[in-house]
Amino acid sequence: MACICVIDDQAMMRDSLEATLTAQDHKVFAYDNAQEALTMIKQQSFDAVLTDLRMPGLDGVGMLREMRRLGLDVPVVLMTAHASVPTAVEAMKLGAFDYVQKPFDAQEIEIVIERALRDRSLVRDNEILRREIEDLDRQRELVGQSPALQPVLEKIQRVAQSSATVLITGESGTGKELIARAIHVASARANQPMLCVNCAALSPTLLESELFGHEKGSFTGADRMRKGRFELADGGTLLLDEVSEIAPPLQSKLLRILQEREFERVGSSVTRRVDVRVIATTNRDLRDWAAKARFREDLFYRLSVLPIEVPPLRERREDIPLLLDYFVGRISAREARERPKFTADALRMLQEYAWPGNVRELENLCERVSVLEAGREVAPATIAPLLNGPIKTASAAAEGLQYRDGQILSDAERTLILHTLERFSGHRERTARALGIGLRTLGLKLKRWREEGTFHEERRRRAVMV
């Protein structure tokens, strides 16, 4: 269904056009003067404008000039009597899409509007494709069957049915953008564009322009009008990658568009409305940042309507063989090389490794091995130099946890829990999940140990051991 703006000072003509276009399943907004229509076109997104050429006050040509001055590139079809055909032709030189000569029949209007809509769709698709090529990212599938990943996969399906804002959190390299794309594909917006902005890669000025667009001459280097990602993603999804890196002044503008669905381009006072589903990702603890006034608290709550936490690879070790098989198979096929074969010891080493770079680090390793060891057997000696940290994480995790003479069970429990808490940088939810206990149970134990004074005593003892 397209949104059509009809302008004619004659009520009979307006009613006739509205009935004709409505019968074609279009949504029609009819106005008796160009000035009122222009005000609405500034505020709402139309797919085409059908306007009479000669009207009292602002006429069709004047309206066309004003629309082009404001950067409103909606296709305009003019309706004109025989005597004003030369004027209509002149208007086309100003950017009108086409004109129809009165009197005309319904079929003629239907055909010209259909052409205008098809042209607009092609222009929009080309612009979206150009932007997507600019930030082209390799498409990957969601691979994994581990218990840690299953809640995420289930949540994707539930979240996809909503248009509410999603906040995806997790360490770098865990596949947050992949989760975002999965949500978009499973949603009702799947046939609409999904665009991505890396908020950490741009300066505040460039990021503002990238998000909201800018008018020609609005700043040094702005040699032409440019639409922002919010405008281009209208009807679809916009991914704000590393949203925590947005500067405070821009956070207020982002909050406004999330609340009101409206914004202005840089250098413009014209308010525009869009329908965009926002998905944000971050590897920061935004709740903590908001508490420390490093991130707007109201924006945090607006972003985290539907939160999803992606577990790190070390918490889903069962998925490593599946991911390894997927990456090696895809890369070997792309490079037209024979797949390398991992020995049982090599697989065991990969499952024991901590993977500080998460899935991204595993994919990088697969890329190197698939190219350098194509068709060969891959042993631990080949893998070890490619890893960036301790390999025997199972042994490392047990370090300091061995039984000591005189140690009672409660002491061992406290040591294990505090060690795991340190491993996850104080993140209680992930600690509880890794230990297989409830979050409330963990909280009560920590509270009791603090009251007993054994919490800091155990941490000091571990520091001495290290």
Sorted by where each begins, the domain ranges of the chain are 3-129, 150-309, 314-394, 399-465
Question: Above pLDDT 90, what percent of the chain?
Answer: 47
Question: Above pLDDT 70, what percent of the chain?
Answer: 87
| Residue 401 pLDDT greater than 80, yes or no | no
Q: Which of 13-27, 206-220, 420-434 has the lowest mean pLDDT?
A: 420-434
Under CATH, what is the fold of the domain 3-129?
Rossmann fold (3.40.50)
| Domain spanning 150-309: CATH 3.50.50.60 | no
pLDDT at 316: 93
Under CATH, what is the fold of the domain 314-394?
Helicase, Ruva Protein; domain 3 (1.10.8)
- Nearest-CA neighbor of 50 among 78, 82, 9, 80? 78
pLDDT at 394: 38
- Say if 150-309 and 314-394 have the same CATH topology: no
| Residue 407 pLDDT greater than 60, yes or no | no
| Residue 355 pLDDT greater than 50, yes or no | yes
| Residue 367 pLDDT greater than 60, yes or no | yes
Task: Please state the pTM of the whole predicted model.
Answer: 0.62
Q: What is the mean pLDDT of residues 91-119?
A: 85
| Residue 441 pLDDT greater than 50, yes or no | yes
pLDDT at 180: 95
pLDDT in tens, 219-274: 877 778 888 999 999 999 999 999 999 999 899 999 999 999 999 999 988 899 99
Q: Which of 4-13, 123-132, 258-267 has the lowest mean pLDDT?
A: 123-132
